[in-house]
Amino acid sequence: MKKFLIIIILILIAIGFFKYKNIIIKKIYYPKTEVTNALINNYNIYGRSFNIEGVLNKEINKNIVKDISLVLHTKEKNIYFITKYEIKDNKLLFKTNDKLNDGIILDNINVGEYYLLLNITDTNNKNKYYSLKNNTKFNNLDYYTITKNNNNKYITIKPVTYTLKNKKQYHFKLNVMNKKLPKQYYDIVIDPGHGGADPGTVDRGIYEHKEALEVAMSLKNQLTELGLKVKLTREGNYNPGGSWKDPYYINGRVNIPGNIKAKYLFSIHLNNTPYKMKKGGIEIYAPTNIDYSLAKLMADNIVESAKTTYSPNGLYKVSSGVYNRNYTKEEIKDNKDESIAKGVKPNEITTSTTYHYIIREPGGLMMKAYVDGRNPKFHKNLYCYSNIGVESYLIELGFISNDYDFTNIKNNKLGYVNGIKNTLKTYLLDEL
Ligand SMILES: [Zn+2]
């Protein structure tokens, strides 16, 4: 009788095991992919955008390719992303986009665990999926989405390796979780230009460092009211780096945005010119290789809200009020001569390197940051060789040498502040 009972119990345990074995032994799901891996040669996060670039070394018949896409794959569903590609010498080269802020927008991905795959759709609408193998020196990335309704998502991006049927397999995994933004991290950095030993431009009793700080503080308050977490690079008349020429200290304005995982940086400045201008107006400086929709919207909103104009300056102009300024050949030569005279290795600057350091340096390697510690005059930019970047803009509110701008900046700061605030509300909080 006892024996019989034991057998019954064992049978019940066995049934339970087979029924719930997926729960008892946690089974990891792997997607079915082709034997060949696609190689990832570059990946980075810039602002809210995840950018990835790679190659599939496999003979591909151009004539049967209908479409190429990157796919976020779970067992239940596929999310497809438009992918740029070309087939060259039997190789398929692919990337999320040419523009740094227009790849896969991380904030738009729902909570879940995803594999990132490359998909080739042929002319018969048949899909072939390839897993991605990391071919860079970079490893894991993590990201907090912009604070929206007091909520954030936390995203980890990991190249993973595992063995299946004695064969090494490679994948890129994205894990999206609900998690509040930790205390030390922020959404946005506002940088009031200059400060300390550097007053910026001065005209008829107006100091750039002072006006910029007032605008920045007011902007911080307005954005905080929208629920965004905002940090200023300075809150008084000092240089956050502690030294007037070195913004690369650990707490210098270049390193702050990266240290606090900010997605955006806006630097506030005032313009001045010895030339007589009939009209002043705003200039927003942006990086070269990005999509300009945020900068354009901001220029339009500031003009409307602050009752100002677009700057008449035509040099480096992208569109009304939007500019990108790179190093000129003369500046590259000067920089080289100066480096040689000082006995340091010249920086790798080209005419496609952004001129304004506050735009270039928090952007890391993909924005061609170049202060890597070789010049003893400066500390090292901590994010020089990183694959994270802060989307950075420099806003010249107006020309204090111009009478209209002078009065407007002095008396109508809220007009400028609201223009910037409304833009970020539309761009970061209202969409989706
Ligand atoms: Zn300035």
Question: pLDDT for 330-382, tens place per residue?
Answer: 999 999 998 899 888 888 889 989 999 999 999 888 888 888 888 787 888 99
For 88-94, what is the mean pLDDT? 91
- The alpha carbon of 127 and the centre of ligand 1 are apart by a number of angstroms equal to 53
Which residues does 44 contact at the CB level (< 8 Å), separation at least 6? Answer: 50, 51, 100, 138, 141, 364, 365, 366, 387, 388, 389
- The alpha carbon of 200 and the centre of ligand 1 are apart by a number of angstroms equal to 5
For 132-139, what is the mean pLDDT? 96
Percentages (nearest 5) of helix, strand, coil residues in the chain: 25, 30, 40
- The alpha carbon of 178 and the centre of ligand 1 are apart by a number of angstroms equal to 39
For 418-426, what is the mean pLDDT? 98
pLDDT of residue 251: 85
String of DSSP letters for 132-146: EEE-SS---EEEEPP
- The alpha carbon of 301 and the centre of ligand 1 are apart by a number of angstroms equal to 21
Please state the separation of Cα 389 from the chain's center in Å: 5
- The alpha carbon of 91 and the centre of ligand 1 are apart by a number of angstroms equal to 47
Q: At residue 415, does pLDDT exceed 90?
A: yes
What pLDDT digit, counting tens, does each position of 36-56 carry?
999 999 999 999 999 999 999
- The alpha carbon of 337 and the centre of ligand 1 are apart by a number of angstroms equal to 25
- Provide the greatest CA pair distance for the chain: 109
Dihedral class, residue 300 (left if φ above 0, else alpha if ψ from -120 to 50, else beta): alpha
Q: What number of other Cβ atoms are within 10 A of residue 309's Cβ?
A: 18
pLDDT of residue 364: 87
pLDDT of residue 240: 87
pLDDT of residue 179: 97
- The alpha carbon of 227 and the centre of ligand 1 are apart by a number of angstroms equal to 28
Q: In whole angstroms, what is the distance from residue 418 CA to residue 423 CA?
A: 8
Mean pLDDT of the chain: 92
Of 99 and 61, which is predicted with more confidence? 99
Q: What backbone phi and psi angles, to 5 degrees, belong to 164?
A: -130, 125
Q: In whole angstroms, what is the distance from residue 360 CA to residue 286 CA?
A: 9
Residue 349 in contact with residue 332, Cβ under 8 Å?
A: yes
Q: What backbone phi and psi angles, to 5 degrees, belong to 194?
A: 65, -155
What are the beta bridge partners of residue 207? Answer: 202
Q: With bands split at pLDDT 50, 70 and 90, how would you rate the model's confidence at 160?
A: very high
Q: In whole angstroms, what is the distance from residue 182 CA to residue 143 CA?
A: 12
- The alpha carbon of 271 and the centre of ligand 1 are apart by a number of angstroms equal to 7
Residue 266 in contact with residue 293, Cβ under 8 Å?
A: no
- The alpha carbon of 148 and the centre of ligand 1 are apart by a number of angstroms equal to 31
Which residues does 315 contact at the CB level (< 8 Å), separation at least 6? Answer: none
- Closest listed residue to residue 259, CA positions, set 231, 234, 221: 231
Q: At residue 29, does pLDDT exceed 70?
A: yes
Specify the length of the chain in residues: 432
% of residues, the chain, pLDDT over 70: 96
Look up residue 3 and give its DSSP letter: H
Q: What number of other Cβ atoms are within 10 A of residue 208's Cβ?
A: 26
In a 3-state reduction of DSSP, which class is residue 248? coil
Least confident of 57-66, 72-81, 190-199: 57-66
pLDDT of residue 17: 66
% of residues, the chain, pLDDT over 90: 75
Alpha helices in 241-366 (DSSP H): 256-259, 293-305, 329-342, 357-360
- Structure token pair of residue 206: 């107006």
Q: At residue 142, does pLDDT exceed 80?
A: yes
Q: At residue 296, does pLDDT exceed 80?
A: yes
Residue 418 burial by Cβ neighbours in a 10 Å radius (0-12, 13-18, 19+): buried
- The alpha carbon of 269 and the centre of ligand 1 are apart by a number of angstroms equal to 4
Q: In whole angstroms, what is the distance from residue 432 CA to residue 421 CA?
A: 18
Q: What angle do CA 69, 74, 77 make, to 5 degrees?
A: 70
- The alpha carbon of 336 and the centre of ligand 1 are apart by a number of angstroms equal to 24
